[in-house]
Amino acid sequence: MRNLPRNDDEYNELLARIVKGAEYLENPIIKPQDYKRGMALYDELCNIADKYRFGGQS
């Protein structure tokens, strides 16, 4: 698992990356294996953002 952001600037960069990932995943012509890999990364990044935002470490 990736590290939590250390500050709000890194958190905002993480959010921008999540948005870019969502835009990528909306593409209906990406290959299924690319979608699966992209969705796994998207989920991981969202979990990291949630942990930073809500102060959880678990």
Structural domain boundaries in the chain: 8-54
pLDDT digit of tens for each residue in the chain (58 aa)? 689 999 999 999 999 999 999 999 999 999 999 999 999 999 999 999 999 999 865 4
Distance CA 55, CA 26 (A): 30
Distance CA 50, CA 36 (A): 21
Find how far residue 19's CA is from the centre of its chain: 8
* CA atoms within 13 A of residue 56's CA, in its CB half-sphere: 7
pLDDT at position 58? 47
pLDDT at position 39? 98
